[in-house]
Amino acid sequence: MASGIPYTPKPATDIFTPYQTDIDRRQCTRTKPMKVLALGLGRTGTASLRAALKELGYDDTYHMMNASVENPPDCLCWMDAFAAKYEGKGTFGRKEWDALFGDCMAVCDWPAVAFAKELIEAYPEAKVIITTRDVDSWHASVMKTVNWRANDPELKAVANFDWAAGLYYPMLRKFWDYFFYGDFENRGKERFNDYYKEIREMVPAGNLLEYRVSSGWRPLCEYLGDPIPETPFPRSNDAEQFVERCRTQNRKQMMNVLFRAMVVGVPVLATFLSATFAFTHWAPAALNPLASTPVS
């Protein structure tokens, strides 16, 4: 637990986000082999690639949505990883990666890209893929989506009260600041170019697929050695969908907060009013014994 942040279970009052689990990954171990490291930056088709890999049988394929939506306590493992790599606190190696990714056969998207070197070293047997796109269109897409999300004042506010948002927002901010040097708007393109150069230098050409999701199934399946599905290649998570999904998530988490306040607050208020009523009736008699003495 390099970050020092303890696990806390999901509140029973979080009824508006029933799809969110609260598995403590720190206690997990590997149950499936890691076969694919898809280390392209987010907004290069990683959501579509995740869906494609899952259709090919790489279940589960890890994505930021695992931590942001599906199982928020994953963020604790990511905070441990950030603390170990960027803050020099504790260690985060194969054992810890197996705990986080134990039920995954593939990984893609961020924040995994912040640990590309560590993941390649931890899973040398896995095949590496980098999804990519034109840097200018990528930067424009991220500005409208994940950079917006990392600076979303609504998410920041609800993170002070909601269990899931309180786990996710600090992790997202830490990733954004460490990976993009705290200035995505001005340094994002530079980081994009440097990152892809690093991956190309790190991975032997025979074990690396540079891939655009617009290419469809064939290059992906030929590289992985899988048969080409007859179904169309999945397309998902455009900018409008991303923003709408995030805003919907904010609303549901706000409703969790309001419901918890109602469930917890009403009994507390009732107890307070009951105690106040009792005191106002008991106090005069206690302070003035003659008030309750019968007249003979």
- Rounded Cα distance between 131 and 41, Å, is 7
Q: Which of 110, 32, 36 is nearest to 66 (CA)?
A: 110
Size (the chain), residues: 296
CATH number 3.40.50.300 given to 25-282: yes
Cis amide linkage into residue 134, ω under 30° from 0? no
CA–CA dist 242, 239 (Å, integer): 5
Q: Tens place of pLDDT for every residue, the chain, 296 residues?
A: 788 899 999 999 999 999 999 999 999 999 999 999 999 999 999 999 999 999 999 999 999 999 999 999 999 999 999 999 999 999 999 999 999 999 999 999 999 999 999 999 999 999 999 999 999 999 999 999 999 999 999 999 999 999 999 999 999 999 999 999 999 999 999 999 999 999 999 998 889 999 999 999 999 999 999 999 999 999 986 888 899 999 999 999 999 999 998 888 655 445 655 555 455 555 555 555 544 444 44
Residue 107, token pair as written in the block? 């990984």
Which residue has 């891939």 as its token pair?
211
| H or E element at residue 62 | strand 61-62
Q: What angle do CA 249, 129, 24 make, to 5 degrees?
A: 45
Q: Return the SS3 of 61.
A: strand
Distances (CA, A) of 240 to 46, 144, 146, 159: 16, 9, 12, 23
Instruction: Give the global pTM.
Output: 0.88
Nearest to 164 by CA among 233, 68, 52, 97: 68
CA distance 226 to 216: 13
Question: Which DSSP symbol is given to 124?
Answer: T
| pLDDT computed for residue 262 by the predictor | 87
d(CA 17, CA 11): 11
Q: 3-state class of 241 per DSSP?
A: helix
Task: Say what the alpha-carbon torsion angle 214, 123, 96, 177 is, to the nearest 10 degrees.
Answer: -50
- Residue 69, Cβ neighbours under 10 Å: how many? 17
Which pLDDT belongs to residue 240? 86
Tokens for 212? 């655009």
Cβ–Cβ under 8 Å, residues 79 and 170:
yes
State the residue for tokens 């606190």. Answer: 89
Residue given tokens 């990733």 in the structure block: 175
**Measuring CA to CA, which residue among 32, 202, 36 is closest to residue 108?**
36
